Amino acid sequence: REAVAEARAGAGSATTDELADLVEQLQRDHAEAHRTAAGMHAAREERARAEREHTERTTAQQQAERRSAARTSQREALEREQSAIEEELVLARGGAASVAEHAALLEHRMSFLDRAADAVRAVDTTAQRLKETDDRLADAAFRAGFDTPQAAAAELTDDSGQRHLQQRLDAWQAEEAAVAERLAEQDAATAAARPPADPDGARAEFDTAERVFLDASSALDAASERRTALQRLSQQAADELTGLGPLRAEYDRVARLATLTAGTSADNERKMRLESYVLAARLEQVAAAATARLQTMSAGRYTLVHSDARAGGRGRSGLGLHVLDSWTGRERDTATLSGGETFFASLALALGLADVVTDEAGGTRLDTLFIDEGFGSLDDQTLDDVLDVLDSLRERDRSVGIVSHVGDLRRRIPAQLEIVKEQSGSAVRHHAAGAAR
C-alpha cells in the first residue's frame, strides 16, 4: 500500500509507460504474495490434520487399555467365585469322594437302622407277650388252688399232656435262646445300645444333603458356563491385544516423528523445528548475500553468519544470526550491535533477501526498494558507506526510495518528493536536479 501511495504521489511527473510498468510490477507482487499465503495455509492445514490423527490414535489406545483392564478384573472375579463353589462342594461331600457317594452312605446307614429298630421292637413284643402269658397262667393256677402253674400242670395233666406241654415249653425255650443268641451278636448289641432311631431326622438330613447337592451341581454348571465365557473373553482380549501391536508400532513411529519435527524429542539435540530446519538453509543464503553489502557498509568489519546454537532455557534454535567481528576475531550475537550498526545490518539483510528472492523467482527482478528512517543513527562515514551501496543498486537500474528527515541526505539524493504542510492540507513537491515544482 505504501508503494502504491508513493506511486500515486509521483504520478504527476511520470509518463504513461512508466505508470503501466509500475502497475504491472505491483500486480506481479500482489500475485506472488497470494501464492505465498496459499502455501502457508496448506501447510497449516496439513499440520492440523497430523495433530488430529495423533490425538485420535492416542484416544483409541487408551480405550483399548481400559477394556483390557475391565476384562482382567472380570476374569479374576470369576476365578474367586469358582474357588468358593469348589469349597462348598468339599463341605457337602463330607469325607466321601463325591456328594452322591455321601448320600448313598447315609441311605445305607438309615436302612440298617430301620432293620435294627424292627428287630428290637420284635424282641420287646415277644418278651411282653411271654410275660403276659406267664401272668395269665399264674393267675389261672392261683384261682384253681395251686401255688404255681407247674403244680397245676402236675396235678391236672397226665403223662401225655405233660409231654405235650414239655414240648411246647422246650420250643419256647429254644425260641428264647435263639432270640438271646441273636441279641448277643455284635451288630445287634451295638444297634440295641444305640439311641432309638430317628427316621424323620434321617430323612430331613437326607433332604438337606440332596438340596445341597442340587445347589452345588447348579453352581458348578453356572461356574462352568462362566469359565467358558471367561476363556472366550480372555481369548478375545488376547486377540485384540495382538491386533494392537501394529497400531502401537505405527503410533510410536508417528509420535517419534512428530516430537522430532516439533523439536521436543530427546534425539533433537538442538530443539529445532522442521520448518526452522528448512528455513535455516534459506537463511544461510540470505546471510551470505547480505554479507556482500554489510562488508561495504561496515568498512570490512562485519560478516553475517547463520547460527544454529541452542537457545537458553526452553527456547529453540535454528534461525539465529551472529556477526563475525574482524577487529576482534570473535563471533557475537547481533543484539550486541549499536543502533547504527543494527540499522545497516538490517538494511544489508533486506538487500540480501531481495537478491535471494530474485534468484529463487527464476530471474524476476525487484526493481523498487523503499527504506523508511534509520539514517539518523549513522555517523558521517557510515552514512556515506551506506549511500554508496544504495547508489550501486541504482546503477543496476533499480529504483531506491528513502523516507527520512535527515537533512544531509538531500545533497546525495538527486530526485526528491517533499511533503509540505499547508493550510488546506499536505502538498507534495518534486525536486529534481536542483529544480523544484
Q: For residue 283, give the CATH number of its domain.
A: 3.40.50.300
Q: Which residues contact 21 (CB under 8 A, 6 or more apart)?
A: none
Tens-place pLDDT, residues 213-261: 888 888 888 888 888 888 888 888 888 888 888 888 888 888 888 887 7
Q: What is the DSSP letter of 310?
A: P
408 lies in a domain?
no
State which of 197, 227, 256 marks the end of a domain. Answer: 197
Is 150 within 8 Å of 138 (Cβ atoms)?
no
Same domain, 176 and 283: no
77 lies in a domain?
no
Same domain, 276 and 388: yes
Tens-place pLDDT, residues 166-184: 776 778 778 888 777 776 6
261 lies in a domain?
no
312 lies in a domain?
yes
Mean pLDDT value across residues 334-351: 83
Mean pLDDT value across residues 69-90: 75
Same domain, 299 and 390: yes
User: What are the b/e assignments for 191-227, b being 16+ CB within 10 Å?
Assistant: beeeeebeeeebeeeeeebeebbeebeebeeebeebe
Same domain, 390 and 288: yes
319 lies in a domain?
yes
Q: What pLDDT is attached to residue 185?
A: 65
* Gap between the Cα atoms of 115 and 127, Å rounded: 19
State which of 181, 197, 213 marks the end of a domain. Answer: 197
Residue type, 230: L
371 lies in a domain?
no
* Gap between the Cα atoms of 389 and 405, Å rounded: 20
pTM of the model: 0.39
State which of 155, 170, 197 marks the end of a domain. Answer: 197
184 lies in a domain?
yes
Is 356 within 8 Å of 286 (Cβ atoms)?
yes
89 lies in a domain?
no
Domain count, the chain: 2
Residue 303 confidence class, pLDDT cut points 50, 70, 90: very high
**Whole domain around residue 193: which residue ranges?**
103-197
